[in-house]
Amino acid sequence: MFDKVLVANRGEIAVRVMRACEELGIDTVAVYSEADKDSGHVRYADEAYNVGPARAADSYLDHEAVIDAAKKADADAIHPGYGFLAENAEFAGKVEETEGVTWVGPSADAMEQLGEKTHARKTMRDAEVPIVPGTTDPVEDPEEVAAFGDEHGYPVAIKAEGGGGGRGMKVVRGPDEADDQLESAKREGEAYFDNDNVYLERYLENPRHIEVQIVADHHGNVRHLGERDCSLQRRHQKVIEEGPSPALNDELREEIAEAARRGADAAGYTNAGTFEFLVEEDENREDGELLGPDANFYFLEVNTRIQVEHTVTEELTDIDIVKSQLRVAAGEELDFSQDEVELEGHSMEFRINAENAADDFAPATGGTLVTYDPPGGIGVRLDDALRQGDDLVTDYDSMIAKLIVHGADREECIARSKRALAEYDIEGIPTIVPFHRLMLQDDAFVSGTHTTKYLDHTLDPERIAEAQEKWGTETDSAAGDDEEVVEREFTVEVNGKRFEVDLEERGAAAIPAGNAGGASGGQKPRPAGGESGDDSASAADAEGQTVTAEMQGTILDVKVAEGDEVSSGDVVCVLEAMKMENDVVADRGGTVTQVAVGEGDSVDMGDVLIVIE
């Protein structure tokens, strides 16, 4: 086994990996950026190395800086966690070539081959793992897209060969869209994966998202650890994951898991990985009825890393997947057979994101954890890296913690989750705890009939606003008024009984947070004239309707000019953010009176792009 492991990551997953190391008697090395000098993963590690400035490209993604830190620390392995360098075959290859340092993950070769989606589809087809009907070779010509649509019907998905996780996928609903969508998919593929090859699949309208956890060693042992249901997603971001899936019967469950095991075997896969599938939902499925072996399931892609939601599987199987990764990388043989993998009870993971769900899940722009008092008790696990008093680091993703709940069955798991989320006390930053509490009393989620379309297309946003009002600790942006609201909590005793009293005062001067009364924390107001720029486009005021950037990114294209008439729903510009091209649309019609951005400009979240009167 290794003596010292460098964890090339931050936040909860870095701490998660270090915890496994600690239990195996392995010393831990953290790397950190300037923004993370005081972060939890740095405090947890035995030693820590600064790898550069806040910008991830200059620190956590800097191959040489990370490998240099491993050499300086004399670490004998690098664990990448998820995100950052985890699925970067080039980096894995560099680690493999570094004398004395082992890559904790699949081989660079396997990562590269499975990362090329057409190659992965061929491998799976040959291993008799069902793939979505489509092409296994790249398409070049819009005619081919239309021909495929004619033959197999619309919609057709165009996907980038190097893509995955929702990046580089375009949907074609009719022959007239083939041209534009093909071009856009190729452009995204070129921009993000240096590869403009794209392929086709039949687009499934309303699938469930099921994924199977795999672990495999270097001695030919491949095990599956059952499935997770990740259908509850918002704009390709998972929010709650659970296992076993509430929609599958045992026969179908076994078929999908065994297909994944077969696929991993055929690909010569090692270490931990996840096989993603789409399962076609049956529109006429009754409450309590499950999808059976007649349901269609299709392989989508392999995630060649430990995933955020691996914890769900750990709770069900009692197998520490991170320890398995370390053991396999060190050359040990897996010490359990497939028969010994038993799934017990039901588990759910709730991602605790510092976002305001009522404001379109806007990430917090700063703040301090004035109160951080997480739940505990039977069946409750918390993976996090923050403690009370910490400042929120907003340079990376918004997930600050994961709450993982285990129960004897789904019903107990739901009741326990409600209890745990009600106990979770966080003040100073917004979180999506209220949203999770809403889901636990939502008919579609509780009955397990939700699909990947549910959050983006079906759930009424008004209900999220109500949940935020009821359970949120926020008082400012969620309330939708600009007036300063000061809240104080008092405890009063009347006739020997305690009462908690909340007082609200509107228009009063703010009182500092963190006092004995525990002022309710909200999203920090954006600094006037500050870097996060609500007001950086100064000409935009209450007169016109402003179209603002939903996220930080780069303007790829501006579709309107001053004086143009637009209608509600018209695309006014294209914003590249989070590695995707996003159409920015006018939500009201009118005349464009100002175009505040040009092609190539970088914009921050909240910046004004266009003004319409």
**Footprint on this chain of ligand MV4 (rule: CB under 6 A):** 132, 157, 164-166, 169, 201-204, 207, 209, 233, 236, 278, 300-301, 452
User: Which amino acid, residue 311?
Assistant: T
Q: How far apart are CA 29 and CA 170, in angstroms?
A: 41
Residues in the chain: 613
Q: Is the Cβ of residue 452 or residue 548 nearer to ligand MV4 in the bound state?
A: 452
Residue 102 CB, nearest distance to ligand MV4 (Å)?
29
**Closest CB to ligand MV4 among 348 and 429?**
348
Handedness of CA 58, 61, 64, 70 (dihedral sign): positive
Q: Which two tokens stand for residue 147?
A: 């021909």
Strand partners, 488: 503
- Closest CA relative to residue 406, chosen from 420, 426, 423: 420
Q: Rank residues 77 and 132 by Cβ distance to ligand MV4 and give the closer one.
A: 132
Residue (30 or 157) nearer to ligand MV4, CB: 157
| Strands 77-79 and 4-7, bridge-based pairing | parallel
90, 67 in Cβ contact below 8 A?
no
- For residues 527 and 1, give the distance between their C-alpha atoms in angstroms, rounded to a whole number: 50
- Residues with Cβ within 8 Å of residue 237, at least 6 apart in sequence: none
Q: Quick check: bond before 244 cis, omega within 30?
A: yes
Number of alpha carbons in the 13 Å side-chain half-sphere of residue 143: 1
Whether the upstream peptide bond of residue 133 has omega within 30° of 0, thus cis, is no
Give whole-number Cα distances, 357 to 432, 469, 580, in Å.
6, 11, 21
Nearer of residues 170 and 416 to ligand MV4, judged by Cβ? 170
**Residue 70 or 278 with smaller CB distance to ligand MV4:** 278
564 within 8 A of 591, measured Cβ to Cβ: yes
Backbone angles phi, psi at 49, to 5 degrees: -125, 135
Which residues on adjacent β-strands are paired with residue 310? none
Nearer to ligand MV4, 201 or 581 (CB): 201
User: For residue 34, how far is the Cα from the chain centroid?
Assistant: 24
Least Å distance, CB 493 to ligand MV4, is: 51
Tokens, residue 34: 């300037």
| Radius of gyration of the chain, Cα coordinates, nearest whole angstrom | 25
- Tell me which H or E stretch contains 52: strand 47-52
What's the closest the beta carbon of residue 167 comes to ligand MV4, in angstroms? 8
**Among residues 162 and 164, whose Cβ is nearest to ligand MV4?**
164
Residue 98 or 237: the one with the smaller Cβ distance to ligand MV4 is: 237
Task: Compute the least distance from the CB of residue 307 to ligand MV4, in Å.
Answer: 12
CA–CA distance, 399 with 139 (Å, rounded to integer): 37
Beta carbon of residue 132, minimum distance to ligand MV4 (angstroms, whole number): 4
Burial (CB count <10 Å: 0-12, 13-18, 19+), residue 202? middle
Given the structure tokens 């890559």, which residue do they identify? Answer: 103
Give me the least distance between CB of 451 and ligand MV4, in Å please: 9
The distance of closest approach from Cβ of residue 452 to ligand MV4 in the complex, given in angstroms and rounded to an integer, is: 4
CA–CA dist 222, 271 (Å, integer): 9
Minimum distance of ligand MV4 from residue 303's CB (angstroms): 9
Query: Measured from the CB of residue 275, what is the shortest distance to ligand MV4 in angstroms?
Result: 12
Q: Output DSSP code: residue 3.
A: S
CB of 238 to ligand MV4, least distance (A): 8
Smallest distance, ligand MV4 to C-beta of residue 278, A: 6
* CA separation for the pair 190, 200 (Å, rounded): 17
Task: Please say which residue, 4 or 202, places its beta carbon nearer to ligand MV4.
Answer: 202
Least Å from the CB of residue 540 to ligand MV4: 33
Of 447, 506, 444, 452, residue with least CA distance to 475: 506
CB of 301 to ligand MV4, least distance (A): 6
Residue with smaller CB distance to ligand MV4, 117 or 253: 117
Nearer to ligand MV4, 267 or 300 (CB): 300
Comparing CB distances to ligand MV4, the nearer of 209 and 346 is: 209
Judged by beta carbon, residue 233 or residue 475, the one nearer ligand MV4 is 233
303/311 with CB nearer ligand MV4: 303
Contact 577, 589 (CB under 8 A): no
* Angle 465-471-474 from CA coordinates, rounded to 5°: 75
- Cβ proximity to ligand MV4: between 103 and 277 the closer is 277
Q: HEC string of 291-346? A: ECCCCCEEEEEEECCCCCCHHHHHHHHCCCHHHHHHHHHCCCCCCCCCCCCCCCCE
- To ligand MV4, the closest distance from the beta carbon of 435 in angstroms equals 17
Alpha helices in 138-218 (DSSP H): 142-152, 178-193
Closest approach of ligand MV4 to the CB of residue 456, in Å: 7
Amino acid at 397: D
Give min distance, CB of 453 to ligand MV4, in A.
7
Distance CA 330, CA 104 (A): 8
